[in-house]
Amino acid sequence: MPNYMSPFTTMINLSNGLIPIAAVVQKRYLHDLEGMFADSTAEDALMINNPLLYEVQEATQNPMEEGQLRYSTTTIYPGKVGDEYYFTKGHYHAIGSRAELYMGLAGEGYLLLMSPENEINVQRMTPGAMSYIPPYWAHRTINIGKDNFVFFACYPADAGYDYASIADKGFAQIVVERGGKPTLIENPKWEK
């Protein structure tokens, strides 16, 4: 007989992503993303204040086993390093064949994706946007607005995180402000 888990319900505030009884809250400061922004001078200058870039509230601590799901909300604060908008670290799934689903809850963001062949794709996310991350695509979210960008995520619990590939090379393109608008440009630090 399998060891059955008990069903449960987690309340999520759909206007701000708050999970009152979050299992874990992860806070990511600029220091945690050291070297990931294109403008190193701007990054170094801002490092003195080490601003909080984003928080992840985990709704569950479900076992990281095949067949299980985990879900969370992420809040990315508004801001830029130089002219590059605040973003999440970004990752491939350690088990590449695992997909993920995002839903916009508040604010405005971009979901930046990159295939294993370095093809770039961008999805604009606003409240109600259900954005599908197919298997094998690296994914990063970016706050392109003036308010908090908040989204919900649901993913297979065994997906895991491959952060190293993104930390080393980044994405082939980055999102910067040009003439007051978010604009996709080639990543000056990109190396294949």
Angle (CA) 161-166-167 rounded to 5° is: 100
132 binds, among ligand M6P, Zn ion, none (CB under 5 to 8 A by kind): none
The encoded tokens of residue 158 equal 């065994």
Applying CB under 5 A, does 100 fall inside the site for Zn ion?
yes
Query: What part of residues 48-67 is at the interface with ligand M6P (CB under 6 A)?
Result: 56
Give the nearer residue to Zn ion in terms of CB position, either 18 or 99.
Answer: 99
In the structure encoding, which two tokens stand for residue 87, read together? 């973003």
Lateral strand order in the sheet of 100-106: 24-29, 52-58, 69-76, 149-156, 100-106, 130-133
Residue 90 binds which entry of Zn ion, ligand M6P, none, with Cβ cut-offs from 5 to 8 Å by kind?
A: ligand M6P
Contact (Cβ atoms closer than 8 angstroms) between residue 43 and residue 29: no
Q: Does the footprint of ligand M6P cover residue 123 (CB under 6 A)?
A: no
Name the site residues for Zn ion (rule: CB under 5 A). Answer: 100
Binding site for ligand M6P (CB under 6 A): 56, 72, 74, 88-91, 100, 153, 155, 161
